[in-house]
Structure 1
Amino acid sequence: MVTCDIPRIETERLILRPMRMEDWPAYETMLGSSRSVHMGGPFDTIGAWGMFCNDAAQWCLLRHGALMIDVKSIGVCVGQVGINYGPLFPEHELGWLLYPDAEGKGFAREAAIAMRKWAFDVRGLTTLVSYIDPDNVRSIRLAERLGATLDRDARGYHSGDLVYRHPK
């Protein structure tokens, strides 16, 4: 039986909420831009749509997936955080993306901490990694600020990925 129990998680400044169709235009723009190069992009509309649908469908199929990041004070979506897994991922992955105007404000860190806590405490995961392109310096720094450590023995999502293992 397929069920979709998608949480809504609040932090001091953010609301992590289920995806909605009105999130699609900004998501497509982000994935179609050069900013998505560390995720295998840029993606055409078909590729971006597939990722958007995958992010939503994981909730029904795997009991985790992506949540959009809204800033409470302004009610604006600034990106996404999620747990990825399935046949394409060696391990459960904590991933994030921010829209360009949202970077440098601590939103990704705050969202990732909340999602990681949910994954361990509510979903019951015992391990969590982040797969990061070696050229993605900002994500490497964020993983390290989150307390994740480089696991050189773990297999990446893409060949050459760095694998950062998160503390429970």
Structure 2
Amino acid sequence: MSGTFTIPEIETERLRLRAPVASDIEHYIAFRMSDRAGTVGGPYSRETAWSQFCGLVGHWIARGYGRWMVADKDTDQPLGVVGLFYPEDWPQPEVAWSVFAEGEGRGIAYEAAVASRTHAYDVLGWTDAMSLVDPANTRSVALARRLGCTPDGTYDHPTLGTLHIWRHPAPEALT
């Protein structure tokens, strides 16, 4: 790996998907320590949330893609973390989303997930994508359906338990 890398930035109608920055840390930690993180393995300790924040950037280095901080285009307020995720213990790369309380119920996850999936297909050349969703997370299940995903079995994660696989439409099905 070289000593420098760039995290691309994506703009949508209302959002900027950008690299995480130091001013995002407290927003991210607050989310990861809250009950809202329950369907993604949390709530976590502050120390673990800090390490996870650092992992956002590290994933870009290790994989060449990752999750963006989703920010309001006008104010730069962080609203969540959405993007492409493939940790060591995942069955394949996924389109992943977590929205902070400030972004809930506004279509933020949908807008950012569509932009992320488009980047995966059009820029990275992915021909397939999935999302792993805790079946208790009814908002994420509804979002997967809204994104056109279809159920495709389950994945038993050693610490997160049974997650449902939601298969995204292939790139050619979206044109």
Q: TM-score per shorter chain, which class?
A: over 0.9
The amino acid that maps onto 1:38 is T
Distance 1:135 1:67 in 2: 24
Matches within 5 A, 1:64-103: 64-103=65-104
Distance in 2 between residues matched to 1:28 and 1:39, nearest whole Å: 14
What secondary structure, in the 3-state scheme, does the structure 2 residue paired with 1:118 have?
Answer: helix
What residue number does 2:169 align with?
167
Which consecutive residues of structure 2, in runs of 5 or more, have no partner in the other structure?
Answer: 171-175
The SS at the match of 2:126 is coil
The alpha-carbon deviation at position 141 of structure 1 amounts to: 0.1
Q: Decide whether aligned partners of structure 1 residues 74 and 21 sit closer, same or farther in structure 2, where only a CA change above 3 A counts.
A: closer
Please report how far the alpha carbon of residue 75 of structure 1 lies from its aligned counterpart in structure 2 after TM superposition: 2.8
Q: Deviations over 1:46-94 (max 9, x none)?
A: 2212211221111111011111111123332111102111312111011
> What corresponds to 2:105 in structure 1?
104
Question: Alpha carbon RMSD of aligned pairs, Å?
Answer: 1.4
The equivalent residue for 1:132 is 133
Aligned pairs for 1:1-168 within 5 A: 1-2=1-2, 3-152=4-153, 155-157=155-157, 158-168=160-170
Give the TM-score taking structure 2 as reference length: 0.90
* Alpha-carbon separation, structure 1, partners of 2:64 and 2:50: 21
TM-score by length of 1: 0.93
Structure 1: 5+ residue stretches without partners: none
Identity of aligned residues (%): 38
Pairwise CA distance, 1:135: 0.4
Q: Is the 8 A contact 1:130 1:163 kept in 2?
A: yes
Distance 2:43 2:77 in 1: 24
Aligned amino acid, residue 57 of structure 1: G
CA contact (8 A) 2:155 2:162 kept: no
In the alignment, the residues of structure 1 paired with residue 63 and residue 103 of structure 2 have an alpha-carbon distance, to the nearest angstrom, of: 29
Q: d(CA) in 2 for partners of 1:111 and 1:86?
A: 20
CA distance in 2, matches of 1:84, 1:40: 15
Instruction: Give distance in 2, aligned partners of 1:132 and 1:143.
Output: 8
State the number of aligned residues. 167
